[in-house]
Structure 1
Amino acid sequence: MLQPQSRGPLPFATLFITLLFVAIASAASLVNITVDDTFGNPQENLQITYQPAGAWSPGEDCTSCAAHLDTTQVHNGTWHDTTYLADNPPSSPLTATLTFDGVAIYVYCIVTRASTNPFGNSDMTFYLDDVEVGRFLLPPNGDPTYRYSYPVYANASIPSGQHTFMLVNGRSDGQTALALLDYIVFS
């Protein structure tokens, strides 16, 4: 009769390899970091910068802004509001910029398609490391409904490393454009 052979080291080796695989997979998993338009992300010491100075208003405190939102539907109750005026364009682009270290980025705004008060034309161009990587266009159609946490830009295929993302509202050959920036998520 054959006796079963001992396999002493094999279970330990299998367990070790399995644990090593789990550790590597855990270390490689992505973590989403949210950067609020106003509060940034204090844990990562990140903040969105707005240019030119005074061209972006904290929406929740803005008495001259046409957009009046339900703060309970906005991330942290805050957003930044800017309008590119085609008939009186600014001397420099209306930009929101974030420097981050990651492989993916997702930008969320509040949008409306209202024809008046506010004029809900969206016309945003996106740059990653000074290269144009996308555009978001949403013309007004008369619908005054606000859409919250609306993804205006998503890119999950960025090379790993430090990057600078820039949202530019409006363009010199375009119409008046509204941007209501809520938050940015990166991985």
Structure 2
Amino acid sequence: MLPCFFVSLAFLLAQLLAKCLAVSINRTIDDTNGDPITGFIPKYSSGWHSDPLQGLCSPCPVQPDESQVFQKTWHDTTNEVPGATLPSVTLEFTGTAIYLFCIVPNTVPNYITVVNLQFTLDNATAGTYQHFQNKSNVFEYSVPVLSLENLANKPHTLVAEVIFGSLVLFDYANYT
């Protein structure tokens, strides 16, 4: 009888220890450099521009302050063609939460600065985000445009699509 007690006690202690050691870890997926742990790099549809300050988008009139951008990189796109395929970025992660962050411009002369996104997670609608410019010419950095929590701890695919008549500057995502 005594050996069964110790086996049961050892099993219970092992279960308790496993729960105590289960710690959530936050990871970041940069728009350009991706996730340094998994090696995943975001997947972009056509029409996105990367690193505009490094000359890859010389006609881009929207120029945020590089020093305030995560890892000094971002990807941007506009959707100005009615009925065209929506520009999108796809992120893959395993975790229980994801947070997507963008740079949000306000007024830029003669340029669209409305931000309008729709999201799907694992092929199911997961939300929208809208920002209408104000009269300032201030950029807002690390703006949370999507926050999804209490997800099953399994692999997920998040797709962010840019709706017609908007500009998006994707910076990074965090997941847990």
Same fold (TM over 0.5): yes
Question: Deviation per CA, 1:63-108, whole angstroms, max 9, x where unpaired?
Answer: 12121111110000000010111xx347321000011111110000
TM value normalised by structure 2: 0.85
State the alpha-carbon separation in 2 of the partners of residues 184 and 91 from structure 1: 26
Match among 80, 89, 92 for residue 99 of structure 1: 92
User: Match of 1:186, as an amino acid?
Assistant: Y
1:163 aligns with 2:156: yes
Q: Whose radius of gyration is greater, 1 or 2? A: 1
**1:110 partnered with 2:103:** yes
In the superposition, the TM-score normalised over structure 1's length comes to 0.80
Q: In structure 2, the residue corresponding to 1:143 is in which secondary structure?
A: coil
Paired position in structure 1 for 2:78: 83
Q: Which blocks of at least 5 consecutive residues in structure 2 are unaligned?
A: 1-8
Q: CA deviation at 1:142?
A: 1.9
Q: CA deviation at 1:146?
A: 0.4
Runs of 4+ in 1 over 4 A off after TM superposition: none
Aligned position for 1:43: 37
Question: Partner of 2:172 in structure 1?
Answer: 183
- Aligned partner of residue 21 in structure 1, secondary structure: helix
- C-alpha displacement at 1:119, in angstroms? 2.4
The residue identity in structure 2 corresponding to 1:36 is D
Task: Sort the Cα spacing of 1:117 and 1:39 in 2 relative to 1 into closer, same or farther, 3 A.
Answer: farther
- Classify 1:23/1:117 alpha carbon distance in 2 versus 1 (closer, same or farther; 3 Å): farther
CA contact 2:61–2:108 (8 Å) conserved in 1: no
Segments of 5+ residues of structure 1 without an aligned counterpart are 1-12
Q: Does 1:21 align with 2:16?
A: yes
- Shift, 1:24, TM fit: 2.3
Contact 1:113/1:142 (<8 A) preserved: yes
SS in 2 for 1:76: helix
Find the aligned partners of 2:42 and 2:83 in 1 and give their Cα distance.
20
Structure 2 residue aligned with 1:124: 117
In the alignment, the residues of structure 1 paired with residue 16 and residue 68 of structure 2 have an alpha-carbon distance, to the nearest angstrom, of 41
1:117 to partner: Cα distance = 4.8
Root-mean-square deviation over aligned CA pairs: 2.3
Structure 1 residue 112: Cα displacement: 1.8
Separation in 2 of the partners of 1:90 and 1:148?
30
- Between the aligned partners of 1:60 and 1:80, the Cα distance in structure 2 is 11
How many residues are aligned here? 166
Identity score, percent: 30
In structure 2, what is the Cα distance between the partners aligned to 1:152 and 1:118? 21
The match for 1:70 is: 65
Does the residue aligned with 1:145 lie in a helix, a strand or coil? coil
Deviation, 1:20, is 6.2
Instruction: Tell whether 2:131 aligns with 1:142.
Output: no
- C-alpha separation in 2, matches of 1:119 and 1:93: 16
Letter in 1 for 2:135: G
Matched, 1:133 2:122: no
Give secondary structure in 2 for the equivalent of 1:152.
strand
